[in-house]
Amino acid sequence: MGAFSDVAGSVKSSQKLINLLKGHVSSSPHSLHPVIAGPHIPEERWPNTALLPTQLLEKATHNVLKNKTIAFPAMCYGPDDGDPRLLRNVASWLTKFYQPADPISENRLCITGGASQNLACLLQVFSDPIYTRHVFLVSPAYMLCFRIFEDAGFHTRLRAVPEDDEGIDIDFLERQLEKSEEKAKADGNDEPPLKPSRPWSKIYKYVIYAVPTFSNPSSKTMSLKRREQLVRLARQYDALIITDDVYDFLQWPSSLTTKTLSVDKAVLPRIVDIDRYLDGGADREGADGFGNTASNGSFSKICGPGLRTGWCEGTAKLAHGVSQTGSSRSGGAPSQLTACFVAETLETGELQRYVFEQLQPIYGARYRKMVEAINTHLIPLGVRLPQADREIVGGYFIWLTLPHSLKGANFAQRAKDEENVVVAQIQVPGDTEGSGTSFENDIRICFAWEDEDMLAEGIKRLAQVIRRMLDEHTVNNDDTSLVTAANKPSQDAKDFW
């Protein structure tokens, strides 16, 4: 595995490499992941290293280790549900940011080893690879989750659900759920055959995976209406909605002229918040108290991915179930030491201020720089952006739909070869045939890694590739028309014969 900026550049272009995919590539040839030029699998969620708060963490680490009453517990096995101080501070921060009707209690949370690790834990505790009929992924989907679902036994049962302008296509999902239930009844699939019955867990019939706010990769935000519809549908079909809410804190106004690029309140309630209150919540009559949602949070995007620390939020019963995963019961919550370091940054308020005063404005400026370039150079060529009327945007990515005649995989290859710009083109493995689940005309670009002054240059180079490809398409169509005309009999010949 190479260095974190190790994406191979073009052998044809003398221009500086511009990485709009992101940073880290492995050399494995088994690609279920984005199409970039060559047989590489990218790890694509790296922040620019200038944005890593090393001084903040250095101070927190020193404070923790010099205080023996904190240091000794930090360096030993931790509680199953995680460091109490981190649980308390995360609950307080989430309450202030999302502003639910009631404060978020610590027993709704469990400290994790990050969103990816916790996704695997959720599947271990709450799914059975036979009884759990399908995993539905809002598509285009975050590609590095595929391996996690495959490892849990769902490699043949991943199903893509398309998006529209409001997010997940609820009607499509409901039809697929109905069809799957009919098959399960016909097959007699009515009990989990592999997982034992345990008082702190349950096995859901379905898993639905989504990144509802500033999605990776589509950059869309699911509407409030769709979030409510999704919760109701999950309750009807006994599904667990697992949401990666990892980009929520990275938000700013979409306006390209606003002076303030910081927003201290969430744009929408999370799906886990909706499940908490909608129609009586998880404690409504007839419900089992586990709820139908799990919110995956992470410090990877707002502090540093190397921390491998995050949190899961759900009902108290669900959070406790996550804490009882075998790996946590073996040694306590993962990332105990770094969890204590992060708890210190939250206790002092420094991490919250860093996100609001540094990350939001800096990422907002990067986003603005890229969108201004897109409006100038790509939109006139027929490129389209999703949800152009949003007031609040965020995350790491922008999703671009190319002119219909251009194929994303071919475009990605040529962008690298001809202009030394790397982008991603993404599919859900094994389920790309349905309407709205194939993205051959789409690419994803990232504004989190490259220096800000390179973002506009990257867009300009992409525009050059699009122009060349459009010109070639026009010429080829003209040539085809000439050949067709030359082979077509004249009117006199047709009359004669």
How do the domains of the chain map onto residue ranges? 49-348, 354-474
Q: 243 and 208 in contact (C-beta within 8 Å)?
A: no
218 closest CA partner among 370, 385, 364, 369: 385
Confidence of residue 279 (pLDDT cuts 50, 70, 90): very high
Give the pLDDT score at 300.
Answer: 95
- Residue in the structure block whose two tokens are 């069809």: 179
- What is d(CA 125, CA 79) in angstroms, rounded to the nearest whole number? 18
Task: List residues bridging with 162 in a β-sheet.
Answer: 139
- Phi/psi of residue 213, nearest 5 degrees: -120, 120
Q: Write down the mean pLDDT value for the chain.
A: 89
Residue 431 has pLDDT above 90, yes or no: no
Confidence of residue 427 (pLDDT cuts 50, 70, 90): low
Residue 494 has pLDDT above 70, yes or no: no
Average pLDDT for residues 411-426, to the nearest whole number? 93
Give the pLDDT score at 27.
Answer: 33
Give the pLDDT score at 430.
Answer: 58
Give the pLDDT score at 30.
Answer: 33
Give the pLDDT score at 473.
Answer: 87
210 closest CA partner among 278, 148, 140, 313: 140
Confidence of residue 426 (pLDDT cuts 50, 70, 90): confident
Give the pLDDT score at 31.
Answer: 34
Confidence of residue 428 (pLDDT cuts 50, 70, 90): low
Average pLDDT for residues 214-241, to the nearest whole number? 97
- The reply to whether domains 49-348 and 354-474 share a CATH topology is no
Q: CATH topology for 49-348? A: Aspartate Aminotransferase; domain 2 (3.40.640)
Confidence of residue 425 (pLDDT cuts 50, 70, 90): confident
Q: How many CB atoms lie within 10 A of CB 198?
A: 11
Q: CATH topology for 354-474? A: Aspartate Aminotransferase, domain 1 (3.90.1150)
Average pLDDT for residues 184-208, to the nearest whole number? 96
Q: In this predicted model, which residue has the larger pLDDT, 492 or 84?
A: 84
% of the chain with per-residue pLDDT over 90? 81
Q: pLDDT tens-digit profile of 19-66?
A: 999 733 333 333 334 444 333 334 455 788 999 999 999 999 999 999
- Residue in the structure block whose two tokens are 């002092």: 348
